[in-house]
A and B are shown apart, each in its own frame.
Chain A
Amino acid sequence: QKEVEQNSGPLSVPEGAIASLNCTYSDRGSQSFFWYRQYSGKSPELIMFIYSNGDKEDGRFTAQLNKASQYVSLLIRDSQPSDSATYLCAARLSAGDKIIFGKGTRLHILP
């Protein structure tokens, strides 16, 4: 059973601090990894994707991938109240394969 595991939270972080979201996956053959943000009642929106080991930065967001440990993380710097949402981690084997989603981590940024 291919799984993506996330802590459901809620994770509470003060405004301006760094929010760290973590995810593990079970299928060692997974090649692509994604982070989506979902506001209540809305569909998920892509934040970042990462394919290679290491860090990938985009603005306030940094995705980290460690294939040896089967671990993916998302760092959000200078957290804002608008970052409060559910963050979904996802993994897939290759293009065209279904994406396996975690159940999401609820993030709450405290003003």
Chain B
Amino acid sequence: GAVVSQHPSWVICKSGTSVKIECRSLDFQATTMFWYRQFPKQSLMLMATSNEGSKATYEQGVEKDKFLINHASLTLSTLTVTSAHPEDSSFYICSAEGGSGPLHFGNGTRLTVT
């Protein structure tokens, strides 16, 4: 149980384009989803917290107009990287929880912006 599916697993896009990443909880309803970013050999950095039906809460320093998060249902949250630039190249990981249980992570999306 507690499977979190994230797509795509990798994406290459050109600078200036937008990329959407999907995160789905497959066998539970995710009341809260979290989006993380991780650069090579660095720790996880929380970008934002999203609750179903409400606006996401962004961490300090994360541009909410650049990283658009939508949590339209209890099983789906999306992260859109708008006007991507090479410095946005990173490993993006979503996670979800269905209540008081632990956090479960998706497999991550490796974004490369050329």
A residues near B, CB below 8 A? 32, 34, 36, 41-46, 49, 88, 90, 95-96, 98-99, 101-104
Contact of B103 among A46, A102, A103 (CB under 8 A): A46
| Complex: chain B residue closest to A99, CB-CB | B103
* Interface pair B102/A34, CB less than 8 Å apart: yes
* Interface pair A42/B46, CB less than 8 Å apart: no
Listed stretches B12-20, B67-75, B78-86, B92-100; interface member: B92-100
Contact of A43 among B97, B99, B101, B107 (CB under 8 A): B107
* Interface pair B44/A101, CB less than 8 Å apart: yes
* Interface pair A43/B32, CB less than 8 Å apart: no
| Complex: chain A residue closest to B92, CB-CB | A43
* Interface pair B105/A43, CB less than 8 Å apart: yes
Shortest beta-carbon distance from B1 to chain A in Å: 12
Residues in B with CB closer than 8 Å to A36 are: 105
Residues in B with CB closer than 8 Å to A32 are: 102
Residues in A with CB closer than 8 Å to B44 are: 44, 88, 101
Residues in B with CB closer than 8 Å to A101 are: 43-44, 46
* Known pairs A43-B91, A46-B104, A96-B31 / 20 extra A-B pairs, C-beta < 8 Å: A32-B102, A34-B102, A36-B105, A41-B110, A42-B107, A43-B6, A43-B93, A43-B105, A43-B107, A43-B108, A44-B93, A45-B105, A46-B103, A90-B103, A95-B99, A95-B101, A96-B51, A98-B34, A98-B46, A99-B103
Shortest 6 CB-CB contacts between residues of A and residues of B: A43-B108, A95-B100, A103-B43, A49-B102, A43-B105, A43-B93
* Interface pair A96/B32, CB less than 8 Å apart: yes
Residues in B with CB closer than 8 Å to A45 are: 105
Instruction: State A45–B3 Cα separation when bound (angstroms).
Output: 11
Sample of 14 A–B contacts (CB below 8 Å): A32-B102, A34-B103, A41-B91, A43-B105, A43-B106, A43-B107, A44-B105, A90-B103, A95-B99, A95-B101, A96-B32, A96-B97, A98-B34, A103-B43
Residues in B with CB closer than 8 Å to A34 are: 102-103
Residues in A with CB closer than 8 Å to B107 are: 42-43
Shortest beta-carbon distance from A21 to chain B in Å: 15
